[in-house]
Amino acid sequence: MSEVKEREAAGAPPGAAGPASGVGAPLRRVVPLRGLPVVAAVLVLLVVALVGNWLWALDFAHVTGGALWTSIDLFVGLIIGPILGRLSVPARIEFSKRFMPAMLLIMPTLVTVTLSAGVQLARHLGDFTAATTHPWIVAALVVISVMGVIALGILEPANLAVLFELRKPRPNGELIGRLMRRFIATAGIIGVLQVATLVIMTRLATL
Amino acid sequence: MSAGAAGDGVSSGAAAQDGHAVPELLMSRRLPPVGVMAVTSLVLVLAAGIYLVVPVPEAAPLAPAAALLGVSFALLVSAAVMLSRVRPFAWARFFQVSRWTLLVYAIIGGVIEAVVILDGARGPMLAIATISLLLFAIAVPLNIAFTVARYADVAQARGDP
Q: DSSP readout, A106-128? A: HHHHHHHHHHHHHHHHHHHHTTT
**Contact yes or no for A24/A94 (Cβ under 8 A):** yes
CA distances from B116 to A193, B58, B111 (A): 26, 18, 9
Q: Which residues on A lie below 8 Å from B116 (Cβ)? A: none
If you count DSSP H runs as helices and E runs as strands, how many of each does chain B have, helices first? 7, 0
Query: Which region, left, alpha or beta, applies to residue B9 given φ > 0 means left and ψ of -120 to 50 means alpha?
Result: left
Whether ipTM exceeds 0.95: no
User: Count of A–B CB contacts within 8 Å?
Assistant: 163
Do A156 and B144 count as a contact with CB atoms less than 8 A apart?
Answer: yes
Distance between CA A122 and CA B137 in Å, rounded?
24
State the maximum Cα–Cα separation within chain B, in Å, rounded to a whole number. 66
pLDDT at B54: 87
pLDDT at B19: 38
Residue A92 buriedness (CB in 10 A; 0-12 / 13-18 / 19+): buried
pLDDT at A7: 39
pLDDT at A146: 92
pTM, rounded to two decimals: 0.79
Query: Where is pLDDT greater, at B94 or A30?
Result: B94
What is the mean pLDDT, run by run of 10 residues, along chain A of 207 residues? 40 39 65 88 90 90 92 85 80 82 87 88 84 89 91 87 83 80 79 88 87
* Candidates B8, B27, B72, partner chain A, best to mutate (most A CBs within 10 A): B8
**Contact yes or no for A18/A7 (Cβ under 8 A):** yes
Do A14 and B23 count as a contact with CB atoms less than 8 A apart?
Answer: no
Sorted by where each begins, the domain ranges of chain A are: 55-205
pLDDT at B25: 54
Distance between CA B142 and CA B35 in Å, rounded?
8
pLDDT at B143: 95
Question: How far is B161 from chain A, CA to nearest CA, in Å?
Answer: 21
pLDDT at A11: 38
pLDDT at B43: 96
Question: By C-alpha distance, which of A132, A107, A111 is closest to A197?
Answer: A111
Average pLDDT of span B125-148: 94
Average pLDDT of span B127-147: 94
Confidence of residue B24 (pLDDT cuts 50, 70, 90): low
Confidence of residue B158 (pLDDT cuts 50, 70, 90): low
Q: Is the pLDDT of residue B141 over 90?
A: yes
Do A14 and B20 count as a contact with CB atoms less than 8 A apart?
Answer: yes
Average pLDDT of span B106-130: 86
Q: Is the pLDDT of residue B76 over 80?
A: yes
Taking only the tens place, the pLDDT of each residue in B54-73 is 888 888 899 999 999 999 99
Distance between CA A160 and CA B18 in Å, rounded?
28
Residues in CB range of B98: below 8 A, 6 or more apart = B141, B142, B144, B145
Confidence of residue B47 (pLDDT cuts 50, 70, 90): very high
Sorted by where each begins, the domain ranges of chain B are: 32-157
Confidence of residue B3 (pLDDT cuts 50, 70, 90): very low
The β-bridge partners of B16 are none
